[in-house]
Amino acid sequence: MPKPKRYKMKQAKHPRQKQAPAMESKPQHSDEHKPERLQKIMATAGLGSRRMLEQKIKKGEVLINNKPASLGQSACTGDHLSFAGQEWKVVNVAGKQRSLVYNKPTGEVTTRSDPQGRPTVFDRLPKIQGARWIAVGRLDINTSGLLLMTTDGELANAMMHPSNQVDREYACRIFGEIDAEKLANLRNGVMLDDGMAQFSDIQPAGGEEGNQWFHVTLLEGRNREVRRLWASQDVMVSRLKRVRYGAVFLPKRLRMGEWSELSALDHKILREDVGLGPIPDQLALKPEKGHRDSDKRSTFKKTGPRKKSTRYKNVDRR
């Protein structure tokens, strides 16, 4: 069998979502960029957290074009910034975003902080400056498997929006008697508390009578929808694991609690699949001549659990 091309995985066994019409691509580089909040530009450049920088702006320690900046002030291409004895020029650069696959264990909650003190899915992720991780869809505390994380809010919203029909595939072990009638009901749709719901595909995946495995696919992500669908047929989900979200598969060699970052090309494919164009340009800070080039340090500080290699071609191009 010929070796698959880079960044391409085998086709899924189940039908995929309908691809949204591609949006007209905008140039990735332009001379002008809409103004952005000053503290956002500075945080993205790694000069500190937004909260800390807001305090510095309030104290008059940040200058824009040789004048004290005010809280909430925006900056645009060509502006000059002075802070902590250094000077920068605001420039327009190609936008950068990050995405990764996290193999969520059971027992973790999909929230940034939990009043009960339970571990969260964000605890193990790499720390980043000037951005934050966004979970593309949620998994409840008893569900494990693929959780796609991204700094790209536009991509996250598009992948979660029902109109784009991005499919989610789950492996589930079912306790109880399953017959053809029950499977037909789940394919055709049943009424839940929050409206009609159905699996777009159901495939048996082994097991024994009374304790069988199935792979099911949904085109939406309502709360505990997989469990509620099976419960409507008087059976119970005893184990649930997400194995695919759109074109992203859960790598077999990615252990529980570990994450693996996607490449820039992977990210581009995900955006194309939901009809998004190239990542928009963003404003950045370029050190002025004669001042220490602190901007050369990596914006992203890679910490946390060991990161797997991304060679396994995680994203499937349609």
Q: Which residues are tagged catalytic?
A: 140
Nearest residue to 11 (alpha-carbon basis) of 249, 241, 266: 249
Identify the H or E element spanning 160: helix 153-160
* Tokens, residue 70: 């005010």
What value does the CA radius of gyration of the chain take, rounded to a whole number of Å?
23
Q: What are phi and psi of 180, to 5 degrees?
A: -60, -35
Give residue for tokens 């450049």: 45
Give residue for tokens 């119970």: 236
Chain centre to alpha carbon of residue 222 = 17
Chain centre to alpha carbon of residue 120 = 15
| Burial class of residue 190, CB neighbours in 10 A (0-12, 13-18, 19+) | middle
> What sign for the dihedral angle of Cα 157, 160, 164, 169?
positive
* Tokens, residue 74: 């925006």
Give residue for tokens 């008697």: 177
Nearest residue to 121 (alpha-carbon basis) of 136, 238, 130, 131: 136
Nearest residue to 107 (alpha-carbon basis) of 69, 64, 140: 140
DSSP letter assigned to residue 37? E
- C-alpha distance from residue 131 to each of 34, 54, 311 (Å): 19, 16, 25
Rounded to whole angstroms, the Cα distance separating 200 from 189 reads 9
